[in-house]
Structure 1
Amino acid sequence: MSSDGPIIDYGPSAPHGPDVTGHHAPLEDPLFDMNKNEEDMFRTVLKPDDSFDENGVYWADLPILKRINFVNKVNNEEAKKEARATWEMFKNDPLSPVAYYFRNMVLPGAGLGLEGYVLFSIGNLKPLFQKGFPECWSTHQICNKTWLNAVEYLEICGIIVGQILVGIIGDWIGRRWGLIQDAAIMFVGLIMLVASWGVTQNGWVICYTWSLFFYGIGVGGEYPMTATSGMENAVGSGKVSTKDDRLHRGRKVTSAFLMQGWGQFFNQVLLILLLLIFHHGSGNAPYSALAVQYTFRVSFAIPAVGTLWLVYYRTYKVKGGANKQLRIAKKKSSVTGYDTESLKITCRHFGGRLLATAGTWYMNDVFFYGNKLFQSEFIKVITPHSTSIMPGWLYNLVNVGVSLCGYYLASFLIDHKLYGRKHMQSIGFLMDFILFIIPAFNFEYYTSREHIKSFQTMYFLSSFFNQFGPNSVTFLAAAEVYPTAVRATAHGFSAAVGKLGALTASILYNYIDTQTKFYVVPWFGLAGLVLNVVFMPDTTGLDLKEQERRWAFIRSGREEDYHGIAIHPKHLSLWERIRGVGKHYDPDLDYKQRIEEMRAEWESRMQEKIDEKAGRLDADDFDDEEFHEHLQSYFQRSTRRATLQGPFRHTNGNGNELTEKITPSDDSNATSDDSITGTNGRH
């Protein structure tokens, strides 16, 4: 069979690898002896050099010093490659790096940016309402206090409904539909907020509350949809994952998630500007009802325009590729609707992981709301007689800026194999515990005017470590540690439990005084640390397709037959290791197994071609020489494509966009027009 015949794409691989003697094969010679170097080629395909050393040893199996050297070498080479690519882009077009960032980070996280804008505006608007409508929001003379409290409660309830409902829809109908639905719900919810009214102020509060509930459903859906679609877009179309998935998957998802921080930032900036505009250039009280009305309604109208554009973009620009990995998973399991069987197996096999992702998210949200305690307390000390809301808004703006620093640092280090997700979350929980426990037992000391600067420092540091830790990691891990078939459902469930933590905090804080709050909050951080250490697996550096391969064994009832790196002790939780989950890990046996799987896949595809074009023949009619020819052809294509690896592979040395055709392998719905580059953050 000619090498121009049918080609199976098993995914990108590293540019080189050693043969059985430890020497590198002469890649520049395309006519080298296949039989002699077949082992080298398999290792190149199955053991990429960003995860395996020159001897084919997995990075997590290396001794500690060699592991550190290997990881640093890979990271340094990747950083240099990205720096060179960025510089080439800049030389060709100074604005092209900005355009790249917008396409691959801003657009995937646009929904979270818009929901962050509106979601956190509720807390910012409350003091403005209290100043502009004191008889309703402050003294409760003309408004029902229960409905005023319900503003926050129903908003959180709407988010919980959306997280669970849209998570299920995302696994049932598809990621793309979930994304479109979220944007549409948020747009309608914003229209309701802008137009909210009532015959009385209490009637307006009720209308405002239910509008927030409806909007919250869309907000909740953004969590599982953004996490799963952003994560799966980093995965290649072949049997082996891409280098982008292995080295930058966490960064892709975190970069989308941090748009929530930018949403908070722009909301606070616009509220300050709008109040100055409608209050005649002054931010000081008293505020007229008209100024308050215009400020809050225009502040909701602005994101409504952006959300309408998001509906259009997701409807007409996000194509079916957003559902590719889900289609592959359903095809393998012969499922057309919702995969209830996978959900049952996930609950049975990954109960500890559910406890980890949901439990740590719950603890983090209590902490996240606890951070607001710092702000209100030190503002009281700094401006004890102020009636203006501006000091609070300005300090919140600074706080959001510090939080953004935490978001960005998390995106840079979350894929680092020597630090990664689990260590980042543990340190974040520990630091927040310390930063709360210190003022809890020295409350009067730190809230005095003489020591308020120390209190402010702890406040900003708690914000930083919350983002550079549990707030970023919970969003990523809740999707990453589960199989594709139920990924959105599991993420939605974990996020919903997290919002129960926010609900717990908002209710609890109404019944205890400020110092008691400081006594209570730190222990949630300590509990989050314990849950993370015991139950959370560390998936840093582990590609999603290897996890899917393990899942195929689990779903078919052959868990003990899987021997790959997904059950390496490094990638298992303490709880899973205690239970003996990793006892079948055997890299040599797994390597042989993957070679057999690779050949079986090839024979299966060849048989399909025969059935379609040449009648009923037997794939065994193809001999070893023909398989070798296929492997050589694939190997040459893999080495040619190696230069396109990584997050900047969409440009060449001149900054021009590169596109290379990929022959579909395990996605029957894919077409030969699928390419490495594309829209919607897909590479």
Structure 2
Amino acid sequence: MAGQQLQVLKALDAAKTQFYHFTAIVIAGMGLFTDSYDLFCISLVTKLIGRIYYYIPEKAHPGSLPPNVNVAICCVALCGTFAGHLFFGWIGDKMGRKHVYGVTLILLAVSAIASGLSFGYTAKGVVANLCFFRFWLGFGVGGDYPLSATIMSEYANKRTRGAFISAVFAMQGFGILAGGIVTIIVSASFKAAYPASPYQQDPIGSTVPQADYVWRIILIVGAIPATLTYYWRMKMPETARYTALVARNAKQAAADMATMLNVETEAEPEKVERLAMEPSSSYGLFSKEFFRRHGLHLLGTTSTWFFIDITFYSQSLFQKDIFTNYLHWLPSAKTMSALQETYMIARAQTIIALCGTIPGYWFTVAFIDYIGRSVIQLMGFFMMTVFMLGLAIPYNTYWKNGSHPVGFIVMYAFTFFFCNFGPNVTTFVVPAEIFPARLRVTCHGISAACGKAGAIIGVFGFLYVVESPDDAGCRCGIGMQKALYVLATTDFLGFMFTFLIPEAKGKSLEEMSNDIKPEEGSGMDEEATHQPQQPQQAR
């Protein structure tokens, strides 16, 4: 296949970074911002929902939801995300990236509003409605991951592609931060407007009736960024790679290149037709040829994403329980009103996001195209294993019962830092680079779905393995220390499976997919190729 490389693809790989690239980062990144806000804001309000609908003053932790309700509220969106990854991954390759890109935002916006408007005559009715709409919210989130990653990878040049895809995913950190800030503002505003009686004197009065508005407002706010981004997504053209290699419309691909990057290229319809006749352009997903070329790659991307999401989601969605029940960093629920407890949980999560989560994302953006995806992923898994063992080994003798809380928080924050300066970002980047264009969104969706399977296992595992019988009525609790050992083990397994993934640094998408080999001796001078006259926005 030497000599078959298309001019439009070489121009994309060699194009200088310009304004349109940053526009695409913002447009795609706002989807990830919305995704993370919607997925993780629920962890900030479950205690409040428990106070309002499942208040039992005799319980040690009266703001806690029953275990089955807690896991349902936290997991149902992840189940929807799992389904969305697979469905939108498949449809994104069949119909094109752009045609389904806006559908995910509509689902996010409508479901976020409906989640906040979940009403019912009983507590079970409210929770059932909330879970129903959270599932469809997760379904929209599931579509956003593979589409955003693939669109950004197919727009980017090969020198800075890793940083661009990472920057899209890094918006997830700002979504988590925004969830904490919105919760702080809303809970503080209602706390000032509707002060509760001291808990010891008036248990019922510690949860004012107006508190029911707080969690609803927090969930509904998630519709705002999705709504604002919809127009700009609809203005984006289809990626030139999809148009040329999958839709086989060489003229439209060249026209889109001229619009996006102001780069004139030859359409080459005859070469597109010849490429379509190549055997490498016809093998299907899960065929013998696919497994020969990409079987180990898919095993690597699915397994590593599975292992990292066990750790990331179990920690993220149950931070409040770690801070309150095990670390005792937050005051007891019996000493706070419902709104004050919500405020304190949001403040703690915001501190972790600022100190560990967000810096980790942007370290990856800064270094991924210099030291490579594999190095960052290996380093991240290794350091997470080290810090998890640092928390687990001396837990009963040093960390337990809130001893040395500052040291625990620092090490805990470092696990988030190396999660994001490591596999949490690279597992999102790599599947968008190493698979063929006609299967790229599907393979990314499969990899992400395996990640969500790990997330669901992590959430169930944390609740039913860590919770003690006294706290939640569960009879299979093994304690925080052993749970930390389990997370350290999953991180180590992620480290080992990373060796199945090829390094994509500095290579074109066509080189990585092994479908189109570069022309021998073509040596296109990247710095001098098709200099843009003046950057333009998407039409």
TM over 0.5: yes
Partner of 1:591: 520
Task: Give unmatched runs, 5+ long, in structure 1.
Answer: 1-7, 15-45, 51-77, 86-98, 235-244, 553-561, 565-589, 596-634, 650-656, 660-676
- Structure 1 residues 101, 229: CA separation in 2 closer, same or farther (over 3 Å shift)? closer
Whether 1:261 and 2:187 are equivalent positions in the alignment is no
Mapped contact 2:115–2:219 kept (Cα < 8 A): yes
Task: Give unmatched runs, 5+ long, in structure 2.
Answer: 1-5, 200-204, 249-274, 466-478
Mapped contact 1:159–1:218 kept (Cα < 8 A): yes
Whether 1:422 and 2:374 are equivalent positions in the alignment is yes
Mapped contact 1:479–1:488 kept (Cα < 8 A): yes
CA distances 1:168-217 after superposition (whole Å, capped 9, x unpaired): 00000010022111111112212311221112121010000010001110
Partner of 2:30: 110
Mapped contact 1:478–1:490 kept (Cα < 8 A): yes
Mapped contact 1:117–1:264 kept (Cα < 8 A): yes
Whether 1:318 and 2:194 are equivalent positions in the alignment is no
Aligned mates of 1:265, 1:639 — CA distance in 2:
38
Partner residue of 1:272 out of 169, 172, 184 = 184
Mapped contact 1:381–1:447 kept (Cα < 8 A): no
- Structure 1 residues 308, 291: CA separation in 2 closer, same or farther (over 3 Å shift)? same
Mapped contact 2:45–2:342 kept (Cα < 8 A): no
Aligned mates of 1:462, 1:483 — CA distance in 2:
33
Partner of 2:352: 399
Partner of 1:409: 363
Aligned mates of 1:108, 1:532 — CA distance in 2:
26
Amino acid at match of 2:421: F
Mapped contact 1:439–1:446 kept (Cα < 8 A): yes
Partner of 1:167: 89
Mapped contact 1:258–1:407 kept (Cα < 8 A): yes
Aligned mates of 2:212, 2:163 — CA distance in 1:
40
Aligned mates of 1:283, 1:431 — CA distance in 2:
45
Partner residue of 1:551 out of 515, 518, 522 = 515
Tell me by how many angstroms 1:481 deviates.
Answer: 1.1
What SS does the corresponding residue of 1:109 show, helix, strand or coil? Answer: helix
Partner of 2:498: 532
Mapped contact 2:377–2:498 kept (Cα < 8 A): yes
What SS does the corresponding residue of 2:328 show, helix, strand or coil? Answer: helix
Mapped contact 2:319–2:349 kept (Cα < 8 A): no
Aligned mates of 2:246, 2:359 — CA distance in 1:
37
Amino acid at match of 2:233: R
- Structure 1 residues 147, 639: CA separation in 2 closer, same or farther (over 3 Å shift)? closer
Mapped contact 1:481–1:539 kept (Cα < 8 A): yes
* 1:572-651 superposed matches below 5 A: 591=520, 642=529, 644=531
CA distances 1:435-486 after superposition (whole Å, capped 9, x unpaired): 0112212112123555322211111111100000000000001211111110
CA distances 1:106-163 after superposition (whole Å, capped 9, x unpaired): 222111111111110111111222233333898999x986444322232111000000
- Structure 1 residues 639, 446: CA separation in 2 closer, same or farther (over 3 Å shift)? closer
Q: TM-score, normalised by structure 2?
A: 0.79
What SS does the corresponding residue of 1:204 show, helix, strand or coil? Answer: helix
What SS does the corresponding residue of 1:447 show, helix, strand or coil? Answer: helix
Partner of 1:382: 329
* 1:500-511 superposed matches below 5 A: 500-511=453-464
Q: TM-score, normalised by structure 1?
A: 0.63
What SS does the corresponding residue of 1:280 show, helix, strand or coil? Answer: helix
Amino acid at match of 2:534: L
- Structure 1 residues 508, 382: CA separation in 2 closer, same or farther (over 3 Å shift)? closer
Whether 1:542 and 2:495 are equivalent positions in the alignment is no
Whether 1:679 and 2:538 are equivalent positions in the alignment is yes
Mapped contact 1:437–1:522 kept (Cα < 8 A): yes
Amino acid at match of 2:232: Y
Mapped contact 1:132–1:287 kept (Cα < 8 A): no
Partner residue of 1:224 out of 146, 150, 154 = 146
What SS does the corresponding residue of 2:28 show, helix, strand or coil? Answer: coil
Aligned mates of 1:122, 1:505 — CA distance in 2:
16
* 1:128-277 superposed matches below 5 A: 128-135=48-55, 146-234=68-156, 245-277=157-189
Whether 1:297 and 2:262 are equivalent positions in the alignment is no
Partner of 2:489: 523
Aligned mates of 1:160, 1:136 — CA distance in 2:
34
Aligned mates of 1:432, 1:339 — CA distance in 2:
41
Mapped contact 1:443–1:515 kept (Cα < 8 A): yes
Tell me by how many angstroms 1:102 deviates.
Answer: 6.4
Whether 1:459 and 2:412 are equivalent positions in the alignment is yes
- Structure 1 residues 381, 227: CA separation in 2 closer, same or farther (over 3 Å shift)? same
Amino acid at match of 2:462: Y
Aligned mates of 1:639, 1:502 — CA distance in 2:
41
- Structure 1 residues 473, 367: CA separation in 2 closer, same or farther (over 3 Å shift)? same
Aligned sequence identity (%): 24
Aligned mates of 2:419, 2:224 — CA distance in 1:
31
- Structure 1 residues 131, 103: CA separation in 2 closer, same or farther (over 3 Å shift)? same
Partner of 2:44: 124
Q: Number of aligned pairs?
A: 472
Aligned mates of 1:424, 1:409 — CA distance in 2:
10
What SS does the corresponding residue of 1:341 show, helix, strand or coil? Answer: coil
Aligned mates of 1:517, 1:640 — CA distance in 2:
51
Whether 1:432 and 2:384 are equivalent positions in the alignment is yes
Aligned mates of 2:73, 2:283 — CA distance in 1:
35
Mapped contact 1:363–1:498 kept (Cα < 8 A): yes
Aligned mates of 2:209, 2:441 — CA distance in 1:
43
What SS does the corresponding residue of 1:270 show, helix, strand or coil? Answer: helix
Aligned mates of 2:363, 2:448 — CA distance in 1:
23
Partner of 1:491: 444
Tell me by how many angstroms 1:591 deviates.
Answer: 2.1
Amino acid at match of 2:92: G
- Structure 1 residues 334, 100: CA separation in 2 closer, same or farther (over 3 Å shift)? closer
Structure of higher CA gyration radius:
1
What SS does the corresponding residue of 2:119 show, helix, strand or coil? Answer: coil
Partner of 1:92: none
Q: Tell me which of the two structures has the higher relative contact order, counting C-alpha pairs closer than 8 angstroms and 6 or more residues apart.
A: 2
Mapped contact 1:371–1:462 kept (Cα < 8 A): no
Mapped contact 1:374–1:459 kept (Cα < 8 A): no
Tell me by how many angstroms 1:505 deviates.
Answer: 1.0
- Structure 1 residues 282, 526: CA separation in 2 closer, same or farther (over 3 Å shift)? farther
Mapped contact 1:361–1:498 kept (Cα < 8 A): yes
